[in-house]
Amino acid sequence: MATPTDQNFQDYKQAEKKALEIVTAMKGTSAKKTDIELALLVALFELHKGTLPLPPATVGGVIQGHLKQLIPFYQPKSQPTG
C-alpha cells in the first residue's frame, strides 16, 4: 500500500508526464522557444487565478521558489578528477 508521500509523488509524476506531452505538442505548434516559454508561464499564472487567486508577485515568487529547487537537478554533473 502506498503512503501519502508515495501517492503524492506518483500524482506529481503523472502531472509531469502530461506537461512533457504538452511541451512536445507545443513544439509542433511553434519553433520559437520564447513563445512556448511565455505560454507555459501564462499557464502558471492562470492556474492560480481559479479558486485561490494570488497576487501576480506572489505567483512569481512561487515560480522562483520552484526554480531554486529544480536548478540543481539540471546542473551538469561534475566529472571526478584523478
52, amino acid identity? L
pLDDT in tens, the chain (82 residues): 678 888 899 999 999 999 999 999 999 988 899 999 999 999 999 988 877 778 889 999 999 999 999 999 999 887 666 5
Judge contact between 57 and 51, C-beta under 8 A: no
Distance CA 28, CA 78 (A): 34
Q: Where are the domains of the chain?
A: 28-64
DSSP conformational letter for 30: -
Distance CA 47, CA 49 (A): 6
Is the alpha carbon torsion for 41, 36, 39, 15 positive or negative? negative
pTM: 0.74
User: Collapsing DSSP states into helix, strand and coil, what is residue 6?
Assistant: helix
Please report how the helices 56-74 and 33-47 are oriented relative to each other, as an axis angle in degrees rounded to 10.
Answer: 130
